[in-house]
């Protein structure tokens, strides 16, 4: 595929457009190093300084064009409330992100702006809302399709390595197959991150078993795996667990009954080892896990029954 150079119109031409986008990508890289993969909305609103002017990455508009540019720089999906879990496939499927138009007018200036980004091959930032006030940034993404009948754009993720830092050259933009592969990989990553953030938020960032309150030591455990027909990435199919108890749960060393009671595999109860085994596993036998107060967030008893049956068979 031939090398493509971004061409832009407007107040300072392609050079300005390229420099602003590159500055945005560098800003996001730095913020991810500081905050992790999930960024607070305040960080995105504050943005970065470019030639004495602040450039933010998110506003109330879903599709955002900074004052310094002619065409959109970013677009986002609003995070749902915890009580209204959004099925993951609403946004992703078959290696493509489906992003809805702003409103119902295909010729709204924001929709026209994204269409222009498609025509010119401009890279953008996609911000996926995971919980209120928190977003996962994905870049570079490209508009690769336009479906006015269904009021949607098709969006593909590409490899960050294609973005050059000299004269803003896109080095051999990936093929459609490559972009689909990267988009599927991104989908999997976002699935895990979104599930983790929502589950940990529902459990107030505490392990359901030992009450450990350090987010960096917590993980979101699936009650039934995402390969199971009922394994949706929703809070009732999740448990906030510390790394120890998550590993024990995954390996059927530890089971949780549909009544939220902890069971421990018999060979582990009979084993003699150090204090971690004694206090971390053996002495929690028969205890009740801590669950969210909201009924909509509590672990599904149906799913726990399926998983508990697996635990008993493993024992």
User: What are the beta bridge partners of residue 141?
Assistant: 124, 157
| Mean pLDDT of the chain, nearest integer | 87
pLDDT in tens, 197-255: 999 999 999 999 999 999 999 999 999 988 888 888 889 999 999 999 999 999 999 99
Quote the domain boundaries for residue 178. Answer: 4-199
Is 137 found in the same domain as 32?
yes
Please say if the pLDDT value at position 28 is more than 50.
yes
Is 107 found in the same domain as 172?
yes
Is 93 found in the same domain as 168?
yes
pLDDT at 172: 43
Is 129 found in the same domain as 76?
yes
Is 220 found in the same domain as 187?
no
pLDDT at 233: 85
pLDDT at 271: 87
Q: Give the end of a domain, one of 183, 199, 215.
A: 199
Please say if the pLDDT value at position 14 is more than 80.
no
CA separation for the pair 189, 47 (Å, rounded): 24
pLDDT at 199: 95
Is 294 found in the same domain as 170?
no
Is 183 found in the same domain as 277?
no
Torsion of CA 199, 203, 205, 207, to 10 degrees: -100
Q: Give the end of a domain, one of 144, 179, 199.
A: 199
Is 159 found in the same domain as 250?
no
pLDDT at 145: 93
What are the strands, taking DSSP E only, across 37-175? Answer: 39-40, 48-50, 53-55, 63-64, 74-77, 92-93, 96-100, 124-131, 134-147, 152-157, 169-170
Please say if the pLDDT value at position 9 is more than 60.
no
pLDDT at 275: 87
- How many Cβ atoms sit within 10 Å of the Cβ of residue 278? 12
- Comparing 77-81, 145-149, 296-300, the range with the smallest average pLDDT is 77-81
Q: How many domains does the chain have?
A: 2
pLDDT at 243: 96
- How many Cβ atoms sit within 10 Å of the Cβ of residue 42? 9
Question: What is the pLDDT confidence band of residue 7, given thresholds at 50, 70 and 90?
Answer: very low
Please say if the pLDDT value at position 12 is more than 80.
no
Is 273 found in the same domain as 259?
yes
Is 100 found in the same domain as 214?
no
Q: Per the confidence metrics, is the pTM higher than 0.85? A: no
pLDDT in tens, 35-51: 999 999 999 999 999 99
CA separation for the pair 48, 136 (Å, rounded): 17
Is 132 found in the same domain as 219?
no
pLDDT in tens, 58-116: 998 899 999 999 999 999 998 877 655 444 334 666 778 899 999 899 999 999 999 99
Give one DSSP letter per residue of 147-162, joined into a string: EGGGTEEEEEE--GGG
225 against 303, higher pLDDT: 303
CA separation for the pair 287, 259 (Å, rounded): 11
C-beta of residue 157 within 8 angstroms of C-beta of residue 141: yes
pLDDT at 47: 96
**Once rounded to an integer, what is the mean pLDDT over residues 119-137?**
93
Is 10 found in the same domain as 141?
yes
User: What are the beta bridge partners of residue 36?
Assistant: none
pLDDT in tens, 152-180: 999 999 888 777 644 444 444 557 788 88
Instruction: For residue 139, give every residue at least 6 positions away whose Cβ sits within 8 Å of its Cβ, in sequence order, or none.
Output: 24, 25, 28, 123, 124, 125, 126, 160
Q: Give the end of a domain, one of 135, 168, 199.
A: 199
């Amino acid at each position: 595929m031939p090398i493509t150079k971004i061409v832009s119109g407007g107040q300072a031409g392609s050079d300005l457009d390229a420099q602003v986008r590159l500055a945005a990508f560098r800003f996001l890289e730095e913020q991810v190093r500081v905050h992790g993969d999930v960024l607070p909305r305040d960080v995105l609103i504050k943005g970065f300084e470019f030639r004495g002017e602040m450039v933010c990455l998110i506003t109330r508009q879903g599709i955002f064009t900074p004052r310094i540019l002619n065409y959109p720089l970013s677009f986002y999906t609003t995070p749902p409330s915890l009580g209204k879990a959004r099925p993951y496939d609403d946004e992703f499927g078959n290696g493509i992100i489906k992003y809805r138009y702003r409103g119902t007018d295909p010729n709204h200036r924001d929709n026209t702006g994204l269409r222009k980004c498609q025509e010119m091959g401009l890279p953008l930032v996609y911000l996926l809302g995971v919980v209120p006030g928190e977003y996962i940034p994905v870049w570079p993404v490209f508009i690769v399709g336009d479906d006015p009948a269904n009021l949607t754009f098709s969006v593909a993720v590409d490899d960050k390595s294609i973005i050059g830092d000299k004269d803003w050259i896109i080095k051999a933009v990936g093929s459609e197959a490559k972009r689909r592969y990267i988009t599927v990989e991104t989908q999997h990553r976002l699935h895990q991150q979104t599930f983790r953030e929502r589950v940990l938020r529902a459990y107030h960032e505490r392990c359901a078993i030992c009450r450990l309150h350090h987010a960096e030591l917590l993980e979101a455990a699936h009650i039934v795996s995402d390969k199971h027909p009922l394994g949706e990435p929703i809070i009732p199919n999740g448990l906030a667990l510390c790394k120890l108890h998550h590993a024990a749960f995954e390996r059927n060393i530890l089971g949780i009954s549909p009544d939220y009671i902890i069971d421990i595999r018999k060979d582990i109860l009979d084993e003699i080892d150090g204090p971690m085994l004694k206090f971390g596993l053996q002495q929690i036998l028969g205890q009740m896990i801590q669950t969210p107060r909201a009924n909509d967030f509590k672990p599904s008893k149906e799913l726990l029954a399926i998983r508990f049956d697996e635990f008993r068979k493993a024992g």
